[in-house]
Chains A and B, each alone.
Chain A
Amino acid sequence: MTKTRKKWIFFLGLAVVVALLPLVVKGGYYLLVLNIIAINGLVVLGLNLLIGFAGQISLGHAAFFGMGAYFSAIFTAMYNTPPWATLLVVMVFTALVAFLLGIPTLRLEGHYLVMATLGFNIILYILMVQMEYWTGGPSGFAGIPPLHLGSFPLQGDIHYYWLLWSILLAVFFLSLNLVDSRVGRALRAIHENELVANALGVNTELYKVIIFAISAAYASLAGSLYAHYLSFISPKTFDIFYSIEIVTMVVVGGIGNLWGGLLGAAVLTALPEVLHAMRDYALLLYGVILMGVLVFFPEGLLPGLVKLWSEWRAKKALVSE
């Protein structure tokens, strides 16, 4: 079986699981968790492209996520602009901001993108808290209108389940294609050896900035959807802790492995919910588990598990011979 065919079979399998899950999962709470996984999954997908292929970390994706959420909220709730069109315009605008932020910082080795995005995140967070007239300040922004499909309004968790997961699958499909396209090959070449890629005529700086802008656009899309879904947003969701969480999901899932990223998003979104029973000790366990996974599966959870599985199969084959 060729690698591409295997990939599409896996993708189809994922789509079937997503389609069948609502038959098993009942109850608003579980659907809510699944929907948040889809939203985080979108942000992780974009960030994974950046970390995995440009080899640079952004600690500001919460800011891009927040730009999507707040611009969508402000324009649709205060000025009655059409939600879908607003979402698209905001996406383009956020990508543009990321592009401008990326031009001076991405051509440098080291921690400059980290710092620039971190600073950007902190500034945006302070603006969200302080510009009360526009954002509602620390108490948040309520009354964001729901999305419509045609004239059909989307209400409740199950409607948004279908919407969010369809969008995630579509973007996932696009990203898998992107990785195998000319752009993807260029990005992988950069990741393998930037110098060689450059010598072969790949404009490494431009590609890195473009992938950064695309990843910011994913985050903005997720933010807009988040705002319309929950109809309420507050600055706390968009602080740097969320940025760190998203990076963690990428690293735990497997850097540069889009499937792993999805797994990372699912596991780390659900983990605090599972640990909730431990009450005050939940975060402590989260920290310990995070360290444990990174120490023992540094290549990421999914690649790590795949390796264990193939080792086990090889051993079994050896025994039966």
Chain B
Amino acid sequence: MIWSQLPQFFVSGLTSGSIYALIALGFGIIHNATGIVNFAQGEFVMLGAMTMISLTQVVGLPLLVAFPLAVLAVMAVGWLMEIGPIRRARSNNILILVMITVGASITMRETAMHIWGKTPRTLPPFSGEEPLVLGNAAILPQTLWILGITLLVVILLGFFFNRTMVGKAMRAVAENRRGAALIGIGVYRMTLLSFVLSGGIGAVAGIIVTPITTMSYSAGVMLALKGFAAAILGGYGSMKGAVLGGLLLGAMESFGAGFVSSAYKDAFAFLILLLVLFIRPAGLFGKEEIKRV
């Protein structure tokens, strides 16, 4: 009976939803600071996972050391991307900057293909493979890691944006770039920080999801699409929206696959997304943008 599988669908929806939420947060942070949709967000995720795989399996570092190092490495990639092509661009047209991130995403993807090859790779689960059975649902330990780490990232980000001076400065830039510059906030530094931060969050998402799904050089594209969809679903630029949008998209996908057909899983998720856009275009938690004269 399909109803008895409901808890299982819920668990798997929550798992992929957490990952989408993290990617959506990455999109939101860069968008708030710059107005750019960063097409390389998925590549941050992929690079995080691939670096982690190299650090643990080739260099032989223990998990606890390799995890932060891999995150730092992708933060450095975000840093390079901002001080390189984004800052050097002789234009402040958002469309041009967005297309530059498309170029960056192709470049990163192809570089990754040359470094790590075309075959998908995987990481061992952080702790064991014995699933916990809870009622009708079997929960892998890795799922708990994913949920826990996502929750931790969300709490830390909340603390950063609401309680620290730098975080508040970033929010000020998002609210009004010129006004922020006028009161002495280094707008360019905040832009740089947003790329570094997004790189880090992307890397975390990639590292924690790889033991379940495996990772290949081209996996970033679909992950970015889902994260982007989650961000729109929740309301683009809203942090709360990103998290809830991610979880909702994951759940929709999982239930769609279970009740409708797994072949149409992605179509189902995007169809609901289109409906949401038509009915409530600002997303579920976004502010309706009012054009002022």
A binds B: yes
On B, residues with C-beta under 8 Å from A are 37, 85, 88-91, 93, 95-96, 98-100, 102-107, 109-111, 113-114, 225, 228-229, 232, 236, 263-264, 266-267, 270-271, 273-274, 277-278, 281, 289, 291, 293
The count of residues in chain A whose C-beta lies closer than 8 Å to any C-beta of chain B is 41
Taking A119-B273, A247-B99, A294-B103 as given, write out 18 further A-B residue pairs in contact, using a Cβ cutoff of 8 Å, ordered by the A residue number. A51-B95, A57-B98, A108-B281, A115-B228, A119-B229, A122-B270, A130-B267, A195-B293, A244-B102, A251-B96, A281-B110, A283-B110, A287-B103, A287-B104, A291-B100, A291-B104, A295-B88, A296-B90
**Complex Cα gap A291–B270 (Å):** 30
Q: Are A130 and B289 in contact (CB under 8 A)?
A: no
On A, residues with C-beta under 8 Å from B are 51, 57, 104-105, 108-112, 114-116, 118-120, 122-123, 126-127, 130, 195, 240, 244, 247-248, 251, 255, 280-281, 283-284, 286-288, 290-291, 294-296, 298-299
**Complex Cα gap A240–B264 (Å):** 17
**List of B residues within 8 angstroms of A290 by Cβ:** 99, 102-103, 106
**List of A residues within 8 angstroms of B90 by Cβ:** 295-296, 298
**Complex Cα gap A213–B293 (Å):** 29
**List of B residues within 8 angstroms of A240 by Cβ:** 225
* Most chain B CB atoms below 10 A, which of A110, A114, A116: A110
Q: Are A299 and B266 in contact (CB under 8 A)?
A: no
**Complex Cα gap A114–B31 (Å):** 15
**Complex Cα gap A298–B106 (Å):** 18
**Complex Cα gap A286–B104 (Å):** 10
**List of A residues within 8 angstroms of B109 by Cβ:** 283, 287
Q: Are A280 and B114 in contact (CB under 8 A)?
A: yes
Known: A119-B274, A248-B99, A294-B100. A287 touches B281 (CB 8 A): no
**Complex Cα gap A240–B226 (Å):** 13
**Complex Cα gap A290–B236 (Å):** 27
**Complex Cα gap A159–B206 (Å):** 50
**Complex Cα gap A298–B97 (Å):** 9
Contacting B289 at CB < 8 Å: which of A108, A195, A283, A299?
A: A108
Q: Are B102 and A126 in contact (CB under 8 A)?
A: no
**List of B residues within 8 angstroms of A116 by Cβ:** 274, 277
Q: Are B281 and A118 in contact (CB under 8 A)?
A: no
